[in-house]
Chain A
Amino acid sequence: MSADARTAEAPQTSIRIDGRRHLPARLLTLLDRSLPILFVLAILAVWEIVGRTELINPVYTSYPTEVARALWDLMDSGVLAHDYAVSGREFLWGYGLAIAVGVPLGFALALSRRLSSMIQPLVAAAFSTPRLALIGLMIIWFGIGIGSKIAIIFLEAVFQIFYSTESGARNPDEALLKAARAFGANKRQIIVGVVGRGAIPSILTGLRIGAGGAIIGVVVGEFFAANAGLGYRITVASNTFRTDQLFAVVVVLAASSIALMAALRLLERRVDSWRTTGSRR
């Protein structure tokens, strides 16, 4: 990593010692950076060729230009926007509730041994239950509307958030606790300033993993008893052999997921700037 950084900063050194001589360092860096993109482009090209030459029946695989056209049609007709809004609303509710429950519960159980011994087994049991098995129950409880979707998203996200918060808050740095105490910190100052602050990296990791779970929840929740949403669109596409549409929605989901993860990573970096400043850069 540091070696890379050095080459990037000093383009005038035009020789590397690993055999690929004679190539200027700048060109090599460019090549290194573009390799992942080239690889993806190559896969897309193969996919396109296989589909167009009907080496494999395009009903099964479709091909990139077809997917792009389906994506355009879905956007043009306003279907995708509607689906996106429906799924987005479900996601925000389910994920928001998961944070609102997971983080405080994690802190409560980390700080209180009694509460922990009381609730922990129940949480562990719920965590080990395959959430998919509960979908039917959620539909019975919350109906076929947005309620059951929110419940499923909540279930997919809450445990990761809870466990990450709890493990982050359970073992605060002993030396820091002692220092805080020696400087006269009261209980609130210790819980907020040492335990809470120390748990933030772990909480943010939980939020990131939880967001991944929540997106799965969105799709899975809409497989059953839905009439709009990205998951619903995938179901419809697959039932009607519209592989191109199916891929188009998957692309949208993947892009949203990547954007969300990037945003959360940015937040992580913002809040924990000390980790990324200076020597480790």
Chain B
Amino acid sequence: MNTRVEIGALVNPQSRSQSMLARSDEKIRAGGAPLVEVAGVSFHYARRAPGTLAVLTDISFDVGPAQVLSIVGPSGCGKTSLLNCVAGLQSGFEGTIRVAGQPPQTQSRACAVVFQNPSLFPWKTVLRNVAYGLDLQHVPKAQADSRALELLRMTGLREFADYYPHQLSGGMQQRVNLARALVMRPQVLLLDEPFAALDAITRELMQEELSRLLLETETSAILITHQIDEALYLGDDVAVMTGRPGTIKRSIHTPWPRPRTHDLKRDPQFVERIDEIWHLIDKDPMTGSMSDDAGERGPGPSTIRAALRRRLRVPASRGRAG
């Protein structure tokens, strides 16, 4: 009951836009520290001489409570590295990252990660997969089970608790993956292209599902994606990343209240923004890879592939606009 009211307040366009205003002006923000603070983060892989391979340059953003930040960009722009840094899976970056006020670490209970690959343990049942993080922390089995079952119910997988992952479809596996992260009751969900491997229909359904779950659980999220419409549909804000080394070129605020329906994707405003973001990421990787000495060897094929992929994908979304 209580949560309903809170969700209502959360999605009330009025209060929402006010909170956005407060958020966008960092200096006068009153609501306490953001959940995730990323300030001036750069990262490079040490290479054998000469020099290093720069992956990220000077990235800064904040994510507030129950806010969703989408990070969109072409393949190979360092999105995943950035997420790994926040998750504590990647150390050795420069700059500051704070998650719930703490430096990132994998043991932290503030965030949980959803990978593109479901990466479920094939020898564990769905239930034990979902309870995995709790089992690691030696949460009593009865408690772990009931929490896992609750999440399975929320994700519509209750009847599949005793199945093994290989008996599920790709979409269901990814749902289990999502449940496995949410069962930790994280304040921030880190999603690394979670739906990239799914077919188009399943992807749409999963986007809606994720959006609902994030609202229900009042969880913040950082969503990495290379799909512009996905970024816009799910994010309160969309950060556009470009080139090598990766950097945030621009951050776009999405004005639509959550929960959002799929009709939104046909809204002219929505399509307009897709175009806007498209133009932001279109040109950069090319010039980036040409002018950047360091990127010469590393990203070559992947940059070309990314460019190809964009060539193939975006006329479609433009077609919808026209």
Given the known interface contacts A182-B87, A274-B166, A278-B164, the answer about A197 and B113 at a Cβ–Cβ threshold of 8 Å is no
Asked if A175 contacts B123 (CB within 8 A), the reply is no
B167 at the interface (CB under 8 A from A): yes
Q: Residues of B contacting A194 with CB < 8 Å?
A: 121
Asked if B136 contacts A277 (CB within 8 A), the reply is no
| Docked complex Cα distance between A175 and B192 (Å) | 13
Shortest distance between the CB of A156 and any CB in chain B (Å): 30
B61 at the interface (CB under 8 A from A): no
Interface residues on A, range: 20 to 34
Q: Residues of B contacting A274 with CB < 8 Å?
A: 122-125, 164, 166
Given the known interface contacts A182-B89, A184-B133, A278-B163, the answer about A272 and B117 at a Cβ–Cβ threshold of 8 Å is no
Q: Residues of B contacting A277 with CB < 8 Å?
A: 164, 167
- Which residues of chain A (162-194) have a CB below 8 Å from chain B? 173, 175-176, 178-185, 189, 194
Asked if A184 contacts B115 (CB within 8 A), the reply is no
- Which residues of chain B (215-265) have a CB below 8 Å from chain A? none
Q: Residues of A contacting B195 with CB < 8 Å?
A: none
Q: Residues of B contacting A179 with CB < 8 Å?
A: 113, 115, 119-121
A117 at the interface (CB under 8 A from B): no
Given the known interface contacts A178-B115, A181-B89, the answer about A278 and B167 at a Cβ–Cβ threshold of 8 Å is yes
Asked if A184 contacts B167 (CB within 8 A), the reply is no
Asked if B133 contacts A178 (CB within 8 A), the reply is no
Given the known interface contacts A179-B115, A197-B123, A274-B123, the answer about A184 and B107 at a Cβ–Cβ threshold of 8 Å is yes
B24 at the interface (CB under 8 A from A): no
Query: Chain A: interface secondary structure?
Result: helix
B132 at the interface (CB under 8 A from A): yes
Q: Residues of B contacting A175 with CB < 8 Å?
A: 115, 117, 119
B99 at the interface (CB under 8 A from A): no
Q: Residues of A contacting B107 with CB < 8 Å?
A: 184
Shortest distance between the CB of B121 and any CB in chain A (Å): 6
Asked if B163 contacts A183 (CB within 8 A), the reply is no
Could you say which of A178, A183, A272 contacts B136, with CB atoms under 8 Å apart? Answer: A183
Interface string of B283-301 (1 = CB under 8 A from A): 0000000000000000000
A279 at the interface (CB under 8 A from B): yes
Q: Residues of B contacting A189 with CB < 8 Å?
A: 136
Residue with the greatest number of chain B CB neighbours at <10 A, chosen from A176, A179, A181: A179
| Docked complex Cα distance between A278 and B160 (Å) | 12
Q: Residues of A contacting B164 with CB < 8 Å?
A: 274, 277-278
Could you say which of A176, A184, A185, A279 contacts B119, with CB atoms under 8 Å apart? Answer: A176
Interface residues on B, range: 20 to 34
B137 at the interface (CB under 8 A from A): yes
Q: Residues of B contacting A197 with CB < 8 Å?
A: 121, 123
- Which residues of chain A (76-90) have a CB below 8 Å from chain B? none
Interface string of B186-198 (1 = CB under 8 A from A): 0000000000000
B281 at the interface (CB under 8 A from A): no
Asked if B106 contacts A181 (CB within 8 A), the reply is yes
B112 at the interface (CB under 8 A from A): yes
Asked if B123 contacts A178 (CB within 8 A), the reply is no
Q: Residues of A contacting B180 with CB < 8 Å?
A: 183
Given the known interface contacts A274-B166, A278-B166, the answer about A176 and B121 at a Cβ–Cβ threshold of 8 Å is yes
Interface string of B133-169 (1 = CB under 8 A from A): 1001100000000000000000000000001101100
Shortest distance between the CB of B129 and any CB in chain A (Å): 10
- Which residues of chain B (74-131) have a CB below 8 Å from chain A? 87, 89, 106-108, 112-113, 115, 117, 119-125
Q: Residues of A contacting B166 with CB < 8 Å?
A: 274, 278-280
Q: Residues of A contacting B132 with CB < 8 Å?
A: 183
Given the known interface contacts A197-B123, A274-B123, the answer about A182 and B163 at a Cβ–Cβ threshold of 8 Å is no
Asked if B89 contacts A183 (CB within 8 A), the reply is no
Q: Residues of A contacting B108 with CB < 8 Å?
A: 184
Q: Residues of B contacting A272 with CB < 8 Å?
A: 123
| Docked complex Cα distance between A60 and B112 (Å) | 73
Residue of A nearest to B118 (CB): A175
Of the A-B pairs whose beta carbons lie under 8 Å apart in the complex, a sample of 5, sorted by A's number, is A179-B119, A182-B113, A183-B132, A184-B107, A274-B123
Using CB atoms and an 8 Å cutoff, list the residues of chain B in contact with chain A: 87, 89, 106-108, 112-113, 115, 117, 119-125, 132-133, 136-137, 163-164, 166-167, 180, 184
In the complex, besides A176-B121, A178-B89, 17 extra interface pairs with C-beta distance below 8 angstroms are: A179-B119, A179-B121, A180-B136, A182-B106, A182-B115, A183-B106, A183-B133, A183-B184, A184-B108, A189-B136, A194-B121, A197-B121, A197-B123, A274-B123, A274-B164, A277-B167, A278-B167
Q: Would you list the 6 A-B pairs with minimal beta carbon distance, nearest first?
A: A175-B119, A183-B133, A278-B167, A274-B164, A182-B113, A179-B119
